[in-house]
Amino acid sequence: MDDRLLRRLAGVRPAYIVLVSVLASVSLTLVIVSICSLYFYGRVTFEFIATGIIASFFVAFLVVMFLQKITNSIMEVKLQSDSMIQSLEKNISNIIQKSNDVFYRTNLKGEIVWISQSVQKVMGYSPEELIGKDISSFYVNPEERLRLQELLRENGGFVKNFEAKLRKKDGSEIWLSTDTGYYYDEHGSIAGVEGETKDVTEKKEIENALRLSEEKYRTLIENIQEGIFLLQEGKFVYVNDRFAEMTGYKVAEIIGKEFAPFVAPEDRNKVFERYKRRLQGEDVPKEYEFRLLHKDGNARVVVHMLVSLTQYQGKLATTGTITNVSEKRKMETLYQKAQKLESVGLLAGGIAHDFNNLLTSILGGLSLLKLTIDKSGDDEDLQIVTESINATKRAKDLARQLLSFSKGSEPVKKLLSLKDLLMDCVSFSLRGSLSNYSFDIVDDLWNVEADEGQLNQVFNNLIINAEQSMPDGGVIDVCAYNINISSHSGIPLPPGKYVQITVEDAGHGIPDEYLDKIFDPYFTSKQKGSGLGLASAYSIIRNHGGFIDVESDLGKGSRFHVFVPASDLAINEYASSPALVKGHGRVLVMDDEDVVRNVLGRMLKRLGYETEYAVDGEEAVSIYRQNLENGTRFKAIITDLTIPGGMGGEKVLKILKEADPEIKAIATSGYALDPIMSDYPKYGFAGILQKPFEMENLSVVLEKVTAENGGKS
């Protein structure tokens, strides 16, 4: 029975029920008796009416008794129902009051019409303070309230777990999660919104901390210099950006792919044997190196891998990191190459020193002989001597190559235009060759401070090497341009300004197994060749503070890249010195080799100078001091820098400068263990003569040194 009907019935008084019941029973009985009298007698008789009245009272009594019993039952049900409702309301009220969650109701305007006591514990307000207040005013972002209303309309009047940030009484902010819906009035119309809300601030803080932690570690992983990967069943399930960058792929292109194609063929057996054994629980190395195959299919990336087993989604997986060590291995190779060059240099320097002393005697003697023949006018003899001088100069170039390996072979630098040097060197080297050349040189190419002879030797070697790689001829491209090298350029040079020269041929190329060896001393793949050309080029450029490298594609050709430090200085025009300048005065010659002293004495005599000799430093100091005391100063002293087992030119000059600050000293050397030959003024010398030298060199240097010498001869 409907609860409302029960309540109405229970509210009616029993007397009214009896009266209504009696009247209804009497009336009904009289009607029935009258109908029966008419049916049987054709009229209504007194007897039937009397009988009907008596029966009606009896029926009324029965109805009253029945209704009284029903009324008592209804009253009992009502009392029980009210008790249950009161008990239920009390229990619900107790639950609401003790709950940490907040229960509330708002009207259609959003005004709070009822709110549980727990709101004081959650937000700091008492219920009384909130009644009548617009609930939107407590939202940190009022638009969230509008969004909730939209969701209620869209979801049929109920929304679960709606989260928003509200402001507490003390001004602090709190995250609340709400289950809310419409409630209705007695007419079935929406009366407002009611709901239950709970504090989820701690949960949100944990979620935020987890999110920040995830972002932090994701940022770390994505920006770390090591490649990170996760393999399962031989396939990639995760790689970071660095791993993708090393291989030339995008991350999306790698995920789901087999690991095998990424390993260079020559390393696959090693890598996958260890991979399988590790999965089987065997103890295999966790760290080792192998080569990754780049996306282009040719380039190899040498990587150092650290790997271990892990669990991923309940299955065994392999995780690890890879570090690109290609540059490191390249630098180690360069270091080993430098050590080889240094070892060879110690031997080559000693050989070249003795060789240059012999060449000095030969070239000096030939220079003297040439002067004599010039006067006689014998053309045939002059041709023979000239050819001998040229042969000696070629031997001088060979000695220079040997010296290129020596630490002591410091370049004698001067300001140069590489553009002019390259054009002269290339055209001269390819004279009579089947090959042609092309230049691509920027107009504003920076100048360099370098040893002209040594750089000429470098480019000559590179051009000859390119020409020999094309037996049937071809075009050699020579490019030169300015470059600023930074610490991130991948070139093993200090940051700064450099000139880059590239020599490219279209020859047969260099096999991969030779690329790391071509700059090694005495290494050659040619039937004819000393193996010194590229090695000396490497050493010369290194001694100039530069770098030389090579790229090659087999069957397509090679590209040699040379980097030389640039200079900000501009080249001045110098007047050329006369080919042979005579002079006068007394010159002291100090050299431990008889052949050098003898030929140098003859050359000086031919130039008009008087000569005295010293075998070592002690004798030179003694002779110079004695002449100084006698008032017969030397116009100049020519001294060898290296005297085995004795005092060399540098120490001699220091001693003599104390006695004669105006001394004019010229340093000579076939092999110097210090940088005097490249920066002689710093050490007090007035000039230098690089062995072997000709009469013209000697005359020009002496003329320059003694031009302002007022000393007596």
Domain boundary among 96, 123, 156: 96
* pLDDT band, very low/low/confident/very high, at 712 (cuts 50, 70, 90): very low
Q: Which helix (H) or strand (E) holds 463?
A: helix 452-468
Residue 201's domain is classified under what CATH number? 3.30.450.20
Instruction: Tell whether 136 and 114 lie within a shared domain.
Output: yes
Task: Tell me how far apart the alpha carbons of residues 158 and 139 are, in angstroms, rounded to a whole number.
Answer: 20
Instruction: Tell whether 427 and 552 lie within a shared domain.
Output: yes
Instruction: Tell whether 60 and 158 lie within a shared domain.
Output: no
Looking at the domain assignment, is residue 368 inside a domain?
no
User: Is 490 within 8 Å of 547 (Cβ atoms)?
Assistant: no
Question: How long a stretch of residues is the chain?
Answer: 713
Looking at the domain assignment, is residue 357 inside a domain?
no
Task: Tell me how far apart the alpha carbons of residues 93 and 73 are, in angstroms, rounded to a whole number.
Answer: 30
Query: Does the structure show a pLDDT above 70 at 320?
Result: yes
Looking at the domain assignment, is residue 570 inside a domain?
no
Query: Does the structure show a pLDDT above 60 at 13?
Result: no
Q: What is the pTM of this model?
A: 0.43
Instruction: Tell whether 697 and 598 lie within a shared domain.
Output: yes
Task: Tell me how far apart the alpha carbons of residues 603 and 588 are, in angstroms, rounded to a whole number.
Answer: 13
User: Average pLDDT of 174-199?
Assistant: 89
Residue range of the domain that includes 110: 99-206
Instruction: Tell whether 496 and 621 lie within a shared domain.
Output: no
Q: Mean pLDDT lowest for which of 67-76, 337-346, 369-378?
A: 337-346
Task: Tell me how far apart the alpha carbons of residues 521 and 534 are, in angstroms, rounded to a whole number.
Answer: 8
Backbone angles phi, psi at 433, to 5 degrees: -90, 160
Task: Tell me how far apart the alpha carbons of residues 536 and 513 are, in angstroms, rounded to a whole number.
Answer: 21
Task: Tell me how far apart the alpha carbons of residues 267 and 291 are, in angstroms, rounded to a whole number.
Answer: 7
Instruction: Tell whether 602 and 695 lie within a shared domain.
Output: yes
583 C-beta neighbours (distance < 10 Å), count: 19
User: Average pLDDT of 392-405?
Assistant: 63
Q: Report how far apart, in Å, the C-alpha atoms of 231 and of each of 24, 256, 309, 316, 675 are.
A: 93, 9, 10, 9, 57
pLDDT tens-digit readout, 576-619: 444 678 888 999 999 998 888 988 999 999 899 999 999 999 99
Instruction: Tell whether 81 and 105 lie within a shared domain.
Output: no
Cis peptide bond N-terminal to 692, omega within 30:
yes
Nearest to 226 by CA among 239, 243, 244: 243
Tokens (6 digits) for 8: 């109405």
Strand order in the sheet with 496-504: 436-441, 475-485, 496-504, 557-565, 547-553
Looking at the domain assignment, is residue 64 inside a domain?
yes
Task: Tell me how far apart the alpha carbons of residues 208 and 175 are, in angstroms, rounded to a whole number.
Answer: 12
Instruction: Tell whether 13 and 110 lie within a shared domain.
Output: no
Looking at the domain assignment, is residue 132 inside a domain?
yes
Instruction: Tell whether 428 and 508 lie within a shared domain.
Output: yes
Which of 46-60, 301-315, 671-685: highest mean pLDDT?
A: 301-315
Three-state DSSP string of 606-650 = HHCEEEEEECCHHHHHHHHHHHHHCCCCCCEEEEECCCCCCCCHH
Looking at the domain assignment, is residue 174 inside a domain?
yes
Domain boundary among 206, 240, 267: 206
Backbone angles phi, psi at 147, to 5 degrees: -65, -40
pLDDT tens-digit readout, 272-319: 888 888 888 888 888 888 888 888 776 677 888 888 888 888 888 888
Instruction: Tell whether 59 and 114 lie within a shared domain.
Output: no
Q: Mean pLDDT lowest for which of 36-45, 523-532, 558-567?
A: 523-532
Nearest to 26 by CA among 66, 60, 71: 60
Q: Mean pLDDT lowest for which of 115-129, 156-170, 394-408?
A: 394-408
Task: Tell me how far apart the alpha carbons of residues 127 and 665 are, in angstroms, rounded to a whole number.
Answer: 107
Please, where are the H alpha helices in 42-155? 46-98, 119-123, 127-130, 143-154
Query: Does the structure show a pLDDT above 80 at 199?
Result: yes
Residues in a beta bridge with 668: 640, 689
592 Cβ neighbours under 8 A, 6+ residues apart: 615, 616, 640, 643, 644, 646
Nearest to 477 by CA among 458, 461, 462, 497: 462
3-state secondary structure of 57: helix
Domain boundary among 96, 112, 132: 96
User: Is 176 within 8 Å of 163 (Cβ atoms)?
Assistant: yes
7 Cβ neighbours under 8 A, 6+ residues apart: 78
Nearest to 164 by CA among 183, 182, 151: 151
Residue 632's domain is classified under what CATH number? 3.40.50.2300
pLDDT tens-digit readout, 238-271: 888 888 888 888 989 999 999 888 888 888 888 8
CA quadruple 427, 432, 433, 438: dihedral, nearest 10: 30
Give the per-residue pLDDT at 483.
Answer: 93
Alpha carbon 235 to chain centroid distance? 26
Domain count, the chain: 5
Give the per-residue pLDDT at 142.
Answer: 85
* pLDDT band, very low/low/confident/very high, at 70 (cuts 50, 70, 90): confident
Average pLDDT taken over every residue of the chain:
80
Q: Could you identify the residue written with the tokens 């290194």?
A: 542
Residues in a beta bridge with 306: 287, 321
pLDDT tens-digit readout, 486-500: 887 778 899 999 999
Three-state DSSP string of 299-356 = CEEEEEEEEEEEEECCEEEEEEEEEECHHHHHHHHHHHHHHHHHHHHHHHHHHHHHHH
Looking at the domain assignment, is residue 386 inside a domain?
no
455 C-beta neighbours (distance < 10 Å), count: 26
Does residue 522 come out as left (phi exceeding 0), alpha (psi in the -120 to 50 range) or beta? Answer: left
Residue 446 DSSP one-character state: P
> What is the distance in angstroms between the CA of the first residue and the CA of the last residue of the chain?
149
Query: Does the structure show a pLDDT above 50 at 95?
Result: yes
The amino acid present at 525, given as its one-letter code, is: S
Looking at the domain assignment, is residue 389 inside a domain?
no
Give the per-residue pLDDT at 536.
Answer: 78
Q: Could you identify the residue written with the tokens 């999660």?
A: 177
Query: Does the structure show a pLDDT above 70 at 410?
Result: no
Instruction: Tell whether 89 and 148 lie within a shared domain.
Output: no
Query: Does the structure show a pLDDT above 60 at 153?
Result: yes
Instruction: Tell whether 106 and 179 lie within a shared domain.
Output: yes
Residue 534's domain is classified under what CATH number? 3.30.565.10
Radius of gyration for the chain, computed over Cα atoms and rounded to the nearest angstrom: 55
The amino acid present at 638, given as its one-letter code, is: I
Q: Report how far apart, in Å, the C-alpha atoms of 139 and of each of 24, 198, 439 are.
A: 65, 15, 75
Give the per-residue pLDDT at 576.
Answer: 47
Tokens (6 digits) for 629: 């005391």
Share of the chain above pLDDT 70, in %: 74
Residues in a beta bridge with 669: 690
Give the per-residue pLDDT at 527.
Answer: 42
Residue 262 DSSP one-character state: G
Tokens (6 digits) for 135: 């609930």
